[in-house]
Chains A and B, each alone.
Chain A
Amino acid sequence: MAKPMHPTPNLDQLESGPWPSFVTGLKRLAKDKDYVVDVLGHLEHSYQTRKGYWKGGTVGVRGYGGGVIPRFTEIKDASGNPVFKDAAEFHTIRIMPPPGMHYDTDTLRKFCDIWETHGSGLIAFHGQSGDIMFQGCTTENVQKAWDEINQMGFDMGGAGPAVRTSMSCVGAARCEQSCYDEAQAHQKVINTFLDDIHRPALPYKFKFKFSGCGNDCMNAIQRADMAVIGTWRDNMKTDDAMGKAWFAKHGMNELVNDVIGMCPTRALQIKDVKDVSKEAHISTVALNDAQCLEIDNKDCVRCMHCINVMTGAMGPGKDKGATILIGGKSHLKIGATMGTVVVPFMSLKKDEDYDQLTELAQTCIDFFAENALEHERTGEMIERIGLVNFLEGIGLDIDANMVNSPRMNPYVRTDGWDEEVAKINAKKAAA
């Protein structure tokens, strides 16, 4: 039995209503733990005054320079003592989740036992960066909890100016849209950068995210310094029986309004079977015995829309891999930036292909470490130095897939034009 609860009139109001309540969960923990009684008191004080009261500090584990988020209370009485003394320290341990965030119950139960013993008993699945967040631990217990979690095979996530914890979509494990082995890519890349995760020494944070197709379930393009988004190069795969079944169920209006009309590049047309183009880059899905949907794979940008609507009837082709985009980030400091294409297609089929991915990641991180200003994200660095300088720095060829359009102003020196053209022609001839 723990000490009596503080009155929590505000938090109590978050126990009503149908959605699962974290307050109810905290109160259940508070039955056994003075710690959580004071955490509730602390949070209620924030609700009453509409202010936060945690400050940072330095807490870590042996051997690592990051991964623990220290929190010390700032609610003090007149003589400087914590008002909620049992919750004076409330640190979080960030732990990297397995690719795709799969677990067995044995693992989850062990997490619970460890955190019930050493921490508050509150675990968040997951933080926005992907970490399992073990929330609420005293300075003294951080090492103990960490030792037990690490012995289960789990490793610490990133914090500060470091490579951060990454996420990969469910992908190949349970999704027909998957264009590469997201888990393998995730695991290989992260294992390449463990030192940069655990010992923050970069100009600023660097995030990877892995999505198996353009649906980008991991929101890589807006959040990752390096986004790996699955795609394919050959023709879309199609299945006539499933096409006919879809059409029989949904009919012409839905086909026209929801599929053909929404293709961003007008790559889809309805054709009579006899009129279908015979060119190699055309594929078709039957709608009935007389008509089919014709896909011009040269026009298709692999946006995934038609495949999402007609799942099974159409799907990614066989020559699979990923598009790699660099520079996504949130607002600070220049405003939010999307990742932009630096590799239109990297084949990801054989094991060696994945080594190529980690090599590119390493080159990017090295360039970032050397060239970014302090507290500058990769996207900001590229904005400052220009994409061409970045590409030359990391040894990638330019490609017209990298732009929405060529430049619209004449403010550029072009006295190297002839050499550039000669280089491009030489490359073409060699290919």
Chain B
Amino acid sequence: MKILVCISHVPDTTSKINFTDGDTKFDTNGVQFVINPNDEFGLTRAMWFKEKQGATVDVVNVGGPETEPTLRKALAIGADGAIRVNTTATDGFAVAKQLADVIKNGSYDLVIAGRESIDYNGGMVPGMIAGLTNANFVNNCISLEVDGTNAKAVREIDGGKETVSTTLPLVIGGQKGLVEESDLRIPNMRGIMMARQKPLTIVEPNGITTETTTVKFEKPAPKGAVKLVSPDNLDELVNLLHNEAKVI
């Protein structure tokens, strides 16, 4: 089984978010980047397929050279090879078109993407690449097993779960549940040293143009000051909630 894990290079969740260029670009200054958490769950599940079922695992990212450390980390965790499509990721459709070509060229049986990346939260790429490559698709996937060309996936639905039976080729939009946080792997020294010898192939983009433009990013309004009310002063609390906040 040939697996491709799509890896998004995203700011660490503790990063301070700011914008530049008239609020149209994310300010990467001083920001630490990590593997998108949803993708990391997927990558860890892919490692399981590699170790238990002899799958080969490649990782792919659409992005500039600054994303290579993230791909190297995936190699250090255990992926066999990495591909970087050498273009800036603009919108979901453009990324999906680039990825679809990589998938077709590599004849992958299973593509594991994250349900969404935690930077722009588009959540469109997995579904689009399934469409563009004529593969089956399971989104919000929290469990995946593969037996030959048959797959059994569980997806999270509002308030419950749905078990789906399907076949390869398959694209999933994965998330926590594929593996748990405690299963995530920290690359050890051998992994880091081996990553040096593994291929990181740079592929030129296929010329797709982006049809959307960001006009403006906005942050939520800053939180107002906190008013502390003593637990002995419930009347004051009721008064504030009723007259000032007007919520009761």
Whether chain B is bound by chain A comes out as no
- B residues near A (Cβ < 8 Å) are none
